[in-house]
């Protein structure tokens, strides 16, 4: 194996550092708006260790991000911090201390045989030695210092610039994110920039969320790039001085380079546009971490991420952003509050870990996070009531959904998520050889599942009720617990049918109006083969946003609202995010339930393709299956499938009868005649 050097750090610390760094970029009209949760920090002083054996002395190049000192064995009074240090021959323990209180302490060393890599160990001086963190594909030269990490940028032009006074009103044609640029400026002036995801917002100087105020002076440079990247489609540029001139306006689009591996086309042009807009929405939010929305929070939220991870497996399949996001969400011990302060969001984190393993088979990451899973689960289990159920206590926020629901007491959805979390942790523990712990969690999961049925299932309502309060059943049925019960496959066939008819397809049950919960609702409908209904819903709901001119999908959408009403949320005029990751769920629905691509074993070692047209004339697409791709075409006559890796099975239906056939591993096409 060719050895090469790359930067290493205390595991998780670069992600924790980057997370705090980006989390405080949220502003409300240029005033800081920090997260509602504890922001953790990297260890500022760490030590790296590497045991070597050399036949002859070797000169090694060292570069650290921070102050560093090198010594061997226990000779800690003989320390060096030169750029090049000649290490003595023989068997020695090399130690490198690094201190940095502003950026994550990291080290890069390169000799003829000695390199920083994951054979080194690192400690924060707590008597534990760990495999270091790294991102070898990116930070593998002395110049690529981890703390200098930045997203890429690309110059973009507006589609329309309208002169207003001696300023401009500019339209970039679609939702975007980046650094506004003014070109060819002349004179000196204070200048105000009002950003808008909507035209209305950029024109409402008093209420738009994002603004910039700068003093510009052309004698310092004829073009100016604003220092903060912001989300917008429109901008109003308003110089104070009349004799100040701006030649042109552009922007540096800031983005994470990803591969658009998931592709989808169909006979329905609006559906194609929904796919494209979903992927664009999702890409805008897939950055250092996967954010909730790009205009306002720019924060990492666990429930939002849970869905985003699944969308990612059907689009970019970017493992690194998933890992970064999971590490950032979890933060450091001690756990004193739920992730994002939200009870359900702690639970989604466990399920996300399990989903990550299912899609990637990355056992190493699971191992690195195991202690974090155990301590967060301990926090959760310690907060159960005497019935073994979790309810919101102290300052816990029980979210479930933005909707008119009361989440006081034992909420059935929460118990189902806890069941799934325990089940996930139990399975992951087994995978990394923690048999005893695995049994413990799986037993808890099983017990809880029985109790959920006993407590919340109401036979004549054909489903689960929303909650119990003070030991009393609240008779209100909501879709939430029933959707999750379907998604987590905890019901027998008879109950599935009841839930489908009496809850999911029952117009008397409270409707869901956030794209967030529509994700689960529509996925659940697909689980009971309601693709045709789901297609209608997608076209109606997401199509509805497109009809209103959306170029990215929203945080919330209520078809009954009118005009600028759509932009209001949280009691402020433009509070709503018009580019929210959870708005992009058609990616997942179309990839998993229409093209029908799903892993059968971890990392798609085996996988199934069971396409369903759901009312379309035809569809075609490509989906990532870990390191391979599968291409699917289907119309009413035939299915054609090609894959670049082995393990695929095509399942097709003729009425109620299903047929399974292996997909060739050599890339040749498998064609099935449906009516044959």
Residues that bind its own copies (CB under 8 A): 20-21, 24, 28-29, 31-39, 41, 43-45, 67-69, 76-81, 97, 99, 101-102, 124-128, 333-334, 336-337, 341, 394-395, 570-572, 575
Q: How far apart are CA 554 and CA 564, in angstroms?
A: 14
Toward its own copies, which CB reaches closer, 288 or 495?
288
Please name the residue that has the structure tokens 């045709």. 532
For its own copies, which is the closer residue by CB, 56 or 394?
A: 394
Minimum gap (Å) between residue 31 Cβ and its own copies: 4
Closest C-alpha among 302, 301, 314, 247 to residue 275: 314
- What is the spatial distance between Cα 225 and Cα 250, in angstroms, rounded to a whole number? 9
- Shortest reach from residue 331's CB to its own copies, in Å: 10
CB of 132 to its own copies, least distance (A): 17
- Which lies closer to its own copies via its Cβ, residue 124 or residue 145? 124
Least distance to its own copies, CB of residue 99, Å? 5
CB of 572: closest distance to its own copies in angstroms?
A: 5
CB of 330 to its own copies, least distance (A): 14
Residue 447 CB neighbour total at 10 angstroms: 13
Report the residue number, 148 or 154, with the smaller CB distance to its own copies. 148
- 278 in Cβ contact with 214 (< 8 Å): no
Three-class SS string for 363-429?
HHHHHHHHHHHHHHHHHHHCCECCCCCECCCCCCECCCCCCCCCCCCEEHHHHHHHHHHHHHHHHHH
Q: Using CA atoms, how far apart are residues 614 and 113, in angstroms rounded to an integer?
A: 58
Residue with smaller CB distance to its own copies, 26 or 92: 26
Distance between CA atoms of 333 and 539, rounded to whole angstroms? 44
Tokens of 591: 């990839």
Nearer to its own copies, 18 or 626 (CB): 18
Give the nearest distance from C-beta 114 to its own copies in angstroms.
Answer: 20
Q: How far is the CB of 8 from its own copies (least distance, A)?
A: 18
Give the span between the Cα atoms of 180 and 237, in whole angstroms: 10
Name the burial class of residue 220, with classes exposed (0-12), middle (13-18) and buried (19+) by CB atoms within 10 angstroms of its CB.
exposed
Closer to its own copies by CB, 76 or 243: give it: 76
Between 393 and 600, whose beta carbon lies closer to its own copies? 393
Q: How far is the CB of 601 from its own copies (least distance, A)?
A: 37
Nearer to its own copies, 64 or 249 (CB): 64
C-beta of 31 vs 657, nearer to its own copies? 31
Phi-psi group of 445: left, alpha or beta (phi > 0 → left; psi -120 to 50 → alpha; rest → beta)? alpha
* DSSP states of 570-614: TTBTT-S-SSBGGGGTHHHIIIIIIS-EEESSGGGSSEEE----T
Cis status, amide bond into 186, omega within 30 of 0 = no
Smallest distance, Å, CB 557 to its own copies? 21
Q: Do the beta carbons of residue 544 and residue 557 sit within 8 Å? A: yes
Q: Is 236 helix (H, G, I), strand (E, B) or coil?
A: strand
């Amino acid at each position: 194996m060719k050895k090469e050097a790359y930067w290493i750090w205390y595991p998780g610390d670069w992600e924790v550092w980057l997370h705090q760094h980006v989390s405080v970029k949220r502003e409300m009209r240029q005033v800081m708006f920090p997260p509602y949760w504890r922001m953790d920090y990297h260890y500022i002083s760490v030590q790296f260790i590497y045991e070597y054996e050399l036949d002859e002395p070797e000169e090694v190049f060292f570069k650290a991000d921070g102050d560093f000192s090198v010594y061997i064995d226990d000779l800690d009074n003989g320390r060096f911090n030169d750029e090049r240090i000649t290490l003595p021959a023989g068997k020695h323990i090399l130690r490198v201390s690094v201190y940095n209180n502003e950026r994550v302490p990291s080290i890069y060393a390169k000799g003829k045989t000695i390199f920083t890599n994951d054979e080194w160990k690192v400690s924060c001086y707590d008597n534990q030695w760990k495999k270091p963190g790294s991102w070898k594909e990116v930070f593998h030269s002395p110049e690529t210092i981890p703390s200098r990490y930045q997203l890429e940028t690309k110059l973009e032009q507006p589609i329309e610039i309208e002169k207003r006074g001696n300023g401009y009103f500019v339209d970039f044609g679609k939702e975007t994110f980046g650094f506004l640029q003014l070109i060819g400026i002349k004179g000196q002036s204070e200048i105000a920039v009002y950003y808008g995801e909507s035209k209305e917002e950029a024109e409402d100087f008093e209420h738009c969320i994002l603004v910039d105020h700068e003093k510009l002076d052309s004698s310092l440079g004829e073009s100016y790039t604003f220092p903060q990247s912001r989300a917008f489609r429109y901008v109003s540029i308003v110089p104070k001085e009349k004799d100040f001139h701006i030649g042109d306006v552009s922007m540096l689009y800031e983005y994470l380079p990803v591969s658009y591996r998931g592709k989808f086309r169909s006979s329905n042009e609006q559906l194609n546009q929904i796919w494209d807009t979903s992927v664009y929405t999702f890409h805008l939010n897939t950055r250092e971490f996967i954010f909730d929305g790009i205009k306002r929070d720019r924060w990492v939220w666990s429930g939002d991420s849970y869905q985003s991870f699944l969308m990612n497996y059907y689009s970019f399949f970017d493992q690194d952003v998933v890992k970064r996001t999971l590490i950032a969400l979890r933060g450091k011990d001690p756990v004193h509050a739920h992730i994002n302060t939200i009870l359900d969001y702690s639970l989604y984190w466990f399920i996300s870990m399990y989903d990550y393993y299912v899609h990637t088979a990355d056992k190493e990451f699971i191992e690195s996070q195991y202690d974090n899973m155990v301590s967060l689960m301990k926090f959760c289990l310690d907060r159960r009531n005497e019935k073994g159920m979790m309810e919101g206590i102290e300052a816990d926020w029980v979210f479930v959904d933005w909707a008119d629901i009361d989440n006081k007491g034992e909420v059935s959805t929460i118990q189902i998520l806890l069941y799934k979390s325990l089940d996930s942790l139990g399975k992951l523990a087994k995978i990394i050889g923690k048999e005893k712990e695995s049994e413990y969690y799986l037993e808890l999961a099983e017990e809880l599942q029985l109790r959920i049925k006993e407590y919340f299932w109401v036979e004549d309502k054909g489903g689960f009720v929303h909650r119990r309060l003070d030991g009393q059943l609240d008779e209100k049925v909501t879709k939430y617990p029933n959707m999750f019960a379907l998604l987590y496959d905890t019901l027998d066939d008879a109950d599935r049918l009841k839930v489908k008819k009496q809850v999911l397809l029952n117009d008397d049950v409270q409707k869901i109006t956030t794209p967030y919960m529509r994700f689960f609702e529509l996925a659940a409908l697909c689980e009971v083969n309601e693709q045709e209904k789901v297609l209608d819903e997608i076209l109606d709901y997401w199509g509805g946003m497109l009809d209103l001119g959306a170029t990215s999908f929203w945080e919330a959408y209520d078809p009954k609202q009118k005009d600028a009403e759509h932009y209001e949320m949280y009691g402020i005029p433009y509070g709503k995010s018009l580019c929210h990751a959870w708005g992009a769920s058609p990616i997942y629905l179309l990839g998993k339930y229409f093209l029908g691509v799903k892993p059968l074993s971890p990392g798609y070692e085996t996988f199934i393709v069971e396409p369903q047209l759901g009312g379309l004339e035809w569809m075609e697409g490509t989906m990532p299956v870990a390191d391979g791709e599968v291409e699917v075409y289907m119309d009413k006559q035939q299915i054609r499938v090609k894959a670049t890796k082995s393990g695929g099975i095509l399942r097709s239906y003729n009425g109620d009868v299903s047929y399974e056939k292996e997909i060739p591993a050599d890339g040749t096409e498998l064609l099935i005649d449906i009516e044959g």
